[in-house]
Chain A
Amino acid sequence: MTFLKHNWWKLLSGLLLLYAILGGFMISFSWEGTGMEIAAESMRNLFYHVGMWFGMMSMLITGFVYSLRYLRKFDEVEDIKAVEAVNVGLLFGFLGIFTGMIWANFTWGTPWVKDPKLNGAAVGLLIYLAYAILRGSIDERHKRAKVAAIYNIFAFFLWVVLVIILPRLAGESLHPAGGGNANTVLPMHLQSSMRLVFYPAMMGWILLGFWIFTIRVRIRKIKLFTENN
């Protein structure tokens, strides 16, 4: 029972994602007369593509929080958590871009369009890849942890402006509810059946992110322990 007590959320993540995969392919919907005919059956990607963004957001926020905590206590474990959260966030970010490119190829005819959300996402990834480069260029462990934490906190706010505020101001976006006042309707608002899969799927992806995160943190902690002893 103690196993379940500590790991129930991992089980829940698996069940939610299983449900999201089965449900995502099985539910039926129709986009006649909604202005979203172009997406057609590819709208099922909503459960996976958007899930990647939710996973990335939650991980990058986690990384930000651990960087703040590092600057309070200067505990090396907090730094490990911050860097691994960013790593998992990057993984989700790349998967989000790839799933989005496949989807864009079907609906918009090309894998990459000049859309504020796409460009924001790409530059957001550059910001966090630069974080990895910065860590690589400092040898001393404590200095690296401190400088990286400072950069992470600084970059997070500009990243928020980039991926959350600017696309909403840009006015024109091909994404649903992406730009201005013209289209504020999300697919879930039109087809209530989608909501039944969408919200559990998002929950599942976020939990999966935390699962990967805890595993990677444990590996790093063991490495740190063996280095020190």
Chain B
Amino acid sequence: MLGKETKILIGKEIRLELKQKYVLNGILLYLVSTIFVTYLAFDKIISTDTWNSLFWIILLFVAVNGISKSFVQESPARHLYYYTVASPQAILLSKVIYNLLLMTILSVFSFVFFIVLMGNLVVNLPLFLVTLILGSLGLASILTMVAAIASRASNNFSLIAILSFPIVLPLLGTLMKVSKSALSASEWTGNYGFIVILLTINITVIVLAYLLFPYLWRD
């Protein structure tokens, strides 16, 4: 039941996105221009620290921009309609999974564009890709929940940044640590602890969102 509802709702999200292509194109353009601005400012980057921090900061801003629309894109009247036909859990899961897809596309795209312009400093590509996927999942789930919270308040967009940046930091800090070691050495040892932490943060956030979202959805 939940699975079926979620699947239909994800289909709805994708169709909605394809119908309003300018939103997705807007985020892609935002991403390209941001990376291009950093390219003009830095040329080639040699320091792994700078490369790492710039990449994740850009990805954070792209994620906030991409996900903040989750709960304000559609009218409150339509939300009321969804409320009557679908369970809140299905709504949340569909949004998280859809945002995960979006974030995966955006992060892979920004990674490719970033290495084209800034030079590829990644030594351990599999480890970096694992970080990228865990990061996409974490950013998608945390930001979806924050977007849901902020959509209940006025001045939604600045509120999303205020609420999400400090909350995202445990995740982002850990991500930057793992990806930094993927930039400097090719071995995996010493990173398993951090990968477990990333998984734990992701699972905790999704479970919390699953439990708390019904309260938020019922207005």
Write the residues of chain A forming the contact surface with B, with a CB cutoff of 8 angstroms.
Answer: 71, 123-124, 126-127, 130, 133-134, 137-139, 143, 146-147, 149-151, 153-155, 157-158, 161-162, 165-166, 169
Question: Is B201's CB within 8 Å of the partner chain A?
Answer: yes
Distance between A224 CB and nearest chain B CB, rounded to angstroms? 22
CA separation between A130 and B173, bound complex, in Å?
19
Contact B169 A162 (CB under 8 A): yes
Evaluate contact between B208 and A166: CB separation under 8 angstroms: no
Could you list 8 further interchain pairs (A-B, Cβ under 8 angstroms) beyond the known A123-B169, A137-B154, A161-B200?
A133-B159, A138-B152, A150-B212, A150-B216, A155-B167, A158-B142, A161-B197, A169-B197
B152 near A157: Cβ-Cβ < 8 Å = no
Chain A residue with minimal CB distance to B208?
A: A154
A127 contacts across to B, CB distance below 8 A: 166-167
Q: By the criterion CB–CB under 8 Å, are B167 and A158 in contact?
A: yes
B193 contacts the other chain (CB 8 A)? yes
Is there an interface contact between A133 and B212, defined as CB atoms closer than 8 Å? no
- Asked if residues A153 and B208 are in contact (CB atoms below 8 Å), the reply is yes
Decide: A130 and B194 in contact? CB cutoff 8 A.
Answer: no
Instruction: Tell whether, in the assembled complex, residue B166 and residue A150 are in contact, meaning their CB atoms are under 8 Å apart.
Output: no
CA gap between A204 and B9 in the complex, in Å: 54
CB of B215 within 8 A of chain A? yes
Interface string of B179-219 (1 = CB under 8 A from A): 00000000000000110010011001100110010011001
B173 partner residues in chain A, CB cutoff 8 A: 166
When C-beta atoms are compared, the residue in chain A nearest to B219 turns out to be A143
Q: Complex Cα distance A149/B205, Å?
A: 16
- Determine if B166 and A126 form an interchain contact, defined as CB atoms under 8 angstroms apart: yes
**Assuming A137-B159, A146-B215, A150-B212, is B166 touching A123 (CB within 8 A)?**
yes
22 intermolecular pairs with C-beta atoms under 8 Å apart = A124-B166, A130-B163, A130-B166, A130-B167, A134-B159, A143-B219, A146-B215, A146-B216, A147-B152, A147-B153, A150-B212, A153-B212, A154-B145, A154-B149, A154-B209, A154-B212, A157-B205, A158-B201, A161-B170, A161-B200, A161-B204, A165-B197
Q: How far is the CA of A154 from the CA of B209 in the complex (A)?
A: 8
The answer to whether B174 has its CB under 8 Å from any CB of chain A is yes
What residues of chain B lie closer than 8 Å to A130, measured between beta carbons? 162-163, 166-167
Question: Chain B residues near A166 (CB, 8 Å)?
Answer: 170, 173-174, 197
A134-B163 CB under 8 A given contacts A151-B149, A169-B194, A169-B197: yes
The reply to whether the CB of B155 lies closer than 8 angstroms to some CB of chain A is yes
CB distance from A128 to the nearest CB of B (A): 9
Minimal Cβ-Cβ distance residue in B for A149: B215
- Asked if A138 and B169 sit within 8 Å, CB to CB, the answer is no
Q: How far does the Cβ of A98 sit from chain B's closest Cβ, in whole Å?
A: 20
- 9 closest A-B pairs by beta carbon, nearest first, are A126-B166, A137-B153, A127-B166, A161-B170, A162-B170, A138-B153, A147-B152, A150-B212, A130-B162
Type the 1/0 row for B80-112, where 1 means its CB is closer than 8 Å to any CB of A: 000000000000000000000000000000000
Report the nearest B residue to A124, measured CB to CB.
Answer: B166
Decide if B201 touches A161 in the complex (CB within 8 Å): yes
Residues on A with C-beta less than 8 A from B209 are 154
B74 CB, nearest partner CB in chain A, Å: 19
* A151-B163 in contact (CB<8A): yes
- How far apart are the CA atoms of A71 and B215 in the complex, in Å? 8
B residues less than 8 Å from A146 (CB atoms): 215-216
Choose among A134, A149, A154, A166 the residue with the greatest number of B CB atoms under 10 Å from its CB: A154
B213 nearest in chain A by CB position: A150
Shortest Cβ gap from A165 to chain B (Å): 7
A189 to B38, CA, bound (A): 50
List of B residues within 8 angstroms of A151 by Cβ: 149, 163
